[in-house]
Amino acid sequence: MADRTGAVRRYLRSRKNVAGLAGALAGAGLHLAGLVDQAWPLVAAGLYAVAALVTPSARAEPPAAEPSLVDALRTEVEAQLTRVELQRDELPAGAEAAVRRIARTLRLLLDRLDRVPDLEVDRRAAPERLAEVAEVVRADLAECLDAWFAWAPAAPPESAARELSVQLDLITARVERLEASVPDAHARRAEDLTEEMRRRHDQA
Protein backbone atom coordinates (compact mmCIF):
# COMPACT_ATOMS: atom_id res chain seq x y z
CA MET A 1 0.00 0.00 0.00
CA ALA A 2 2.81 2.39 0.86
CA ASP A 3 4.45 1.68 -2.51
CA ARG A 4 1.22 2.49 -4.34
CA THR A 5 0.72 5.69 -2.38
CA GLY A 6 4.27 6.76 -3.12
CA ALA A 7 3.83 5.99 -6.82
CA VAL A 8 0.65 8.06 -6.95
CA ARG A 9 2.35 10.99 -5.24
CA ARG A 10 5.29 10.81 -7.62
CA TYR A 11 2.96 10.81 -10.61
CA LEU A 12 0.96 13.77 -9.32
CA ARG A 13 4.22 15.75 -9.15
CA SER A 14 5.48 14.48 -12.50
CA ARG A 15 5.87 16.45 -15.73
CA LYS A 16 3.43 14.09 -17.44
CA ASN A 17 0.63 14.95 -15.01
CA VAL A 18 1.35 18.68 -15.23
CA ALA A 19 1.24 18.53 -19.04
CA GLY A 20 -1.96 16.46 -18.91
CA LEU A 21 -3.63 18.97 -16.61
CA ALA A 22 -2.64 21.76 -18.98
CA GLY A 23 -4.29 19.82 -21.82
CA ALA A 24 -7.43 19.27 -19.76
CA LEU A 25 -7.60 22.99 -18.94
CA ALA A 26 -7.26 23.73 -22.63
CA GLY A 27 -10.29 21.47 -23.25
CA ALA A 28 -12.27 23.33 -20.60
CA GLY A 29 -11.20 26.62 -22.20
CA LEU A 30 -12.53 25.47 -25.58
CA HIS A 31 -15.88 24.77 -23.94
CA LEU A 32 -15.98 28.18 -22.30
CA ALA A 33 -15.11 29.77 -25.64
CA GLY A 34 -18.10 28.03 -27.19
CA LEU A 35 -16.00 25.88 -29.49
CA VAL A 36 -16.98 22.59 -27.81
CA ASP A 37 -20.47 21.66 -26.65
CA GLN A 38 -21.57 19.20 -23.96
CA ALA A 39 -18.86 16.73 -25.05
CA TRP A 40 -16.15 18.96 -23.57
CA PRO A 41 -15.36 16.52 -20.67
CA LEU A 42 -14.40 13.91 -23.25
CA VAL A 43 -12.33 16.46 -25.14
CA ALA A 44 -10.61 17.54 -21.93
CA ALA A 45 -9.88 13.92 -21.00
CA GLY A 46 -8.52 13.23 -24.48
CA LEU A 47 -6.27 16.29 -24.38
CA TYR A 48 -5.03 15.22 -20.93
CA ALA A 49 -4.16 11.76 -22.23
CA VAL A 50 -2.41 13.06 -25.35
CA ALA A 51 -0.37 15.65 -23.43
CA ALA A 52 0.62 13.12 -20.77
CA LEU A 53 1.65 10.56 -23.38
CA VAL A 54 3.80 12.88 -25.49
CA THR A 55 5.58 14.45 -22.50
CA PRO A 56 8.83 12.62 -21.73
CA SER A 57 9.35 11.29 -18.25
CA ALA A 58 11.78 13.12 -16.04
CA ARG A 59 15.23 11.56 -16.14
CA ALA A 60 16.12 9.72 -13.01
CA GLU A 61 19.07 11.24 -11.23
CA PRO A 62 22.04 8.89 -11.37
CA PRO A 63 22.96 7.48 -7.97
CA ALA A 64 25.86 9.16 -6.27
CA ALA A 65 29.04 7.28 -6.99
CA GLU A 66 30.53 5.46 -4.03
CA PRO A 67 34.02 6.70 -3.22
CA SER A 68 36.73 4.24 -4.25
CA LEU A 69 38.84 2.55 -1.62
CA VAL A 70 41.82 4.65 -2.73
CA ASP A 71 39.84 7.88 -2.22
CA ALA A 72 38.51 6.67 1.13
CA LEU A 73 42.02 5.84 2.32
CA ARG A 74 43.30 9.23 1.17
CA THR A 75 40.61 10.87 3.30
CA GLU A 76 41.51 8.73 6.31
CA VAL A 77 45.22 9.50 5.97
CA GLU A 78 44.47 13.24 5.93
CA ALA A 79 42.16 12.83 8.93
CA GLN A 80 44.90 11.14 10.97
CA LEU A 81 47.41 13.80 9.96
CA THR A 82 44.99 16.58 10.92
CA ARG A 83 44.40 14.88 14.26
CA VAL A 84 48.13 14.82 14.94
CA GLU A 85 48.54 18.46 13.92
CA LEU A 86 45.70 19.56 16.22
CA GLN A 87 47.08 17.56 19.16
CA ARG A 88 50.80 17.98 18.51
CA ASP A 89 51.33 19.40 22.02
CA GLU A 90 50.30 16.03 23.48
CA LEU A 91 52.80 14.06 21.36
CA PRO A 92 56.35 13.17 22.36
CA ALA A 93 59.25 14.68 20.45
CA GLY A 94 59.62 13.36 16.92
CA ALA A 95 56.18 11.74 16.73
CA GLU A 96 54.58 14.41 14.55
CA ALA A 97 57.47 14.31 12.08
CA ALA A 98 57.23 10.51 11.93
CA VAL A 99 53.50 10.63 11.19
CA ARG A 100 54.08 13.25 8.50
CA ARG A 101 56.67 11.00 6.87
CA ILE A 102 54.28 8.04 7.00
CA ALA A 103 51.44 10.13 5.55
CA ARG A 104 53.66 11.39 2.73
CA THR A 105 54.65 7.83 1.79
CA LEU A 106 51.03 6.64 2.01
CA ARG A 107 49.92 9.43 -0.34
CA LEU A 108 52.59 8.37 -2.82
CA LEU A 109 51.52 4.73 -2.56
CA LEU A 110 47.86 5.57 -3.10
CA ASP A 111 48.71 7.72 -6.11
CA ARG A 112 50.68 4.84 -7.63
CA LEU A 113 47.95 2.30 -6.90
CA ASP A 114 45.41 4.65 -8.46
CA ARG A 115 47.37 4.37 -11.72
CA VAL A 116 47.61 0.65 -12.29
CA PRO A 117 50.81 -0.10 -14.20
CA ASP A 118 50.79 -1.65 -17.64
CA LEU A 119 52.36 -4.96 -16.71
CA GLU A 120 49.95 -7.79 -15.90
CA VAL A 121 51.98 -8.88 -12.88
CA ASP A 122 51.58 -5.42 -11.35
CA ARG A 123 47.84 -5.32 -12.05
CA ARG A 124 47.38 -8.66 -10.31
CA ALA A 125 49.38 -7.52 -7.28
CA ALA A 126 47.62 -4.13 -6.94
CA PRO A 127 44.58 -5.35 -4.87
CA GLU A 128 46.85 -7.11 -2.38
CA ARG A 129 49.04 -4.06 -2.02
CA LEU A 130 46.00 -1.81 -1.60
CA ALA A 131 44.71 -4.12 1.13
CA GLU A 132 48.05 -3.79 2.91
CA VAL A 133 47.89 0.01 2.68
CA ALA A 134 44.37 -0.14 4.15
CA GLU A 135 45.69 -2.23 7.04
CA VAL A 136 48.43 0.31 7.71
CA VAL A 137 45.98 3.24 7.69
CA ARG A 138 43.04 1.65 9.51
CA ALA A 139 44.84 -0.64 11.92
CA ASP A 140 48.53 0.14 12.48
CA LEU A 141 48.47 3.94 12.40
CA ALA A 142 45.00 4.41 13.85
CA GLU A 143 45.57 1.98 16.72
CA CYS A 144 48.92 3.35 17.83
CA LEU A 145 47.60 6.93 17.81
CA ASP A 146 44.41 5.87 19.61
CA ALA A 147 46.50 4.13 22.27
CA TRP A 148 48.63 7.22 22.79
CA PHE A 149 45.84 9.77 22.90
CA ALA A 150 43.87 7.55 25.29
CA TRP A 151 46.30 8.71 27.99
CA ALA A 152 45.23 12.32 27.62
CA PRO A 153 44.77 14.48 29.62
CA ALA A 154 47.01 12.57 32.04
CA ALA A 155 50.74 12.70 31.32
CA PRO A 156 51.73 9.39 29.70
CA PRO A 157 54.69 7.58 31.23
CA GLU A 158 58.05 7.59 29.44
CA SER A 159 57.58 3.94 28.54
CA ALA A 160 54.46 4.85 26.52
CA ALA A 161 56.46 7.44 24.56
CA ARG A 162 59.11 4.82 23.79
CA GLU A 163 56.46 2.37 22.65
CA LEU A 164 54.89 4.98 20.37
CA SER A 165 58.30 5.73 18.86
CA VAL A 166 58.89 2.02 18.19
CA GLN A 167 55.43 1.62 16.68
CA LEU A 168 55.91 4.58 14.33
CA ASP A 169 59.32 3.23 13.31
CA LEU A 170 57.73 -0.13 12.48
CA ILE A 171 54.99 1.56 10.43
CA THR A 172 57.57 3.70 8.62
CA ALA A 173 59.59 0.61 7.70
CA ARG A 174 56.48 -1.17 6.47
CA VAL A 175 55.28 1.65 4.23
CA GLU A 176 58.77 2.13 2.83
CA ARG A 177 58.91 -1.59 1.93
CA LEU A 178 55.53 -1.17 0.29
CA GLU A 179 56.74 1.87 -1.61
CA ALA A 180 59.65 -0.14 -2.97
CA SER A 181 57.29 -2.92 -4.11
CA VAL A 182 54.76 -0.67 -5.88
CA PRO A 183 56.12 0.52 -9.24
CA ASP A 184 55.71 4.10 -10.37
CA ALA A 185 53.83 3.87 -13.66
CA HIS A 186 55.08 7.27 -14.83
CA ALA A 187 58.71 6.45 -14.03
CA ARG A 188 58.39 3.12 -15.83
CA ARG A 189 56.92 4.76 -18.92
CA ALA A 190 59.71 7.34 -18.86
CA GLU A 191 62.29 4.54 -18.69
CA ASP A 192 60.58 2.72 -21.57
CA LEU A 193 60.64 5.92 -23.62
CA THR A 194 64.34 6.40 -22.89
CA GLU A 195 65.08 2.85 -24.05
CA GLU A 196 63.02 3.35 -27.20
CA MET A 197 64.84 6.60 -27.98
CA ARG A 198 68.19 4.89 -27.48
CA ARG A 199 67.19 2.21 -29.96
CA ARG A 200 66.07 4.82 -32.46
CA HIS A 201 69.27 6.83 -32.09
CA ASP A 202 71.41 3.71 -32.44
CA GLN A 203 69.61 2.94 -35.69
CA ALA A 204 70.15 6.46 -37.02
CA dist list (Å): 116 to 55, 71, 112, 177, 195: 45, 15, 7, 18, 21
What per-residue confidence (pLDDT) applies to 120? 47
Question: Each residue of 117-139: pLDDT tens digit?
Answer: 544 434 565 788 889 999 999 99
Percent of the chain at pLDDT > 70 equals: 50
Burial of 112 (0-12, 13-18, 19+ CB in 10 A): buried
Percent of the chain at pLDDT > 90 equals: 33
Burial of 110 (0-12, 13-18, 19+ CB in 10 A): buried
Question: How would residue 47 be classed by pLDDT, with cut points 50, 70 and 90?
Answer: low
What per-residue confidence (pLDDT) applies to 132? 92
Over residues 167-194, the mean pLDDT reads 75
Q: Which residue has the higher pLDDT, 130 or 56?
A: 130
Over residues 157-178, the mean pLDDT reads 93
Q: Which residue has the higher pLDDT, 157 or 85?
A: 85
What per-residue confidence (pLDDT) applies to 166? 96
Residue among 47, 53, 52, 57 nearest 25 (CA):
47
**Structural domain boundaries of the chain?**
2-54, 69-186
Q: Which residue has the higher pLDDT, 118 or 72?
A: 72
Question: How would residue 51 be classed by pLDDT, with cut points 50, 70 and 90?
Answer: low
For residue 201, count other CB atoms closer than 10 A to its CB: 8
Residues in the chain: 204
Residues in CB range of 91: below 8 A, 6 or more apart? 84, 148, 164
Q: Which residue has the higher pLDDT, 74 or 31?
A: 74
Q: Which residue has the higher pLDDT, 172 or 201?
A: 172
The DSSP letter of residue 37 is -
pLDDT exceeds cutoff 90 at 2: no
What per-residue confidence (pLDDT) applies to 160? 87
d(CA 134, CA 110): 10
Residue among 85, 83, 141, 143 nearest 109 (CA):
141
Question: How would residue 174 be classed by pLDDT, with cut points 50, 70 and 90?
Answer: very high
d(CA 17, CA 15): 5
d(CA 103, CA 83): 12
CA dist list (Å): 92 to 13, 99, 100, 137, 152: 61, 12, 14, 21, 12
What per-residue confidence (pLDDT) applies to 72? 92
Highest mean predicted confidence (pLDDT) among 16-25, 57-66, 164-173: 164-173
Q: Which residue has the higher pLDDT, 65 or 84?
A: 84
What per-residue confidence (pLDDT) applies to 127? 83
Task: Report CA dihedral (12, 17, 18, 24) to the nearest 10 degrees.
Answer: -120
Are 175 and 109 in contact by the 8 Å Cβ rule? The answer is yes
CA dist list (Å): 8 to 1, 22, 48, 78, 99: 11, 19, 17, 46, 56
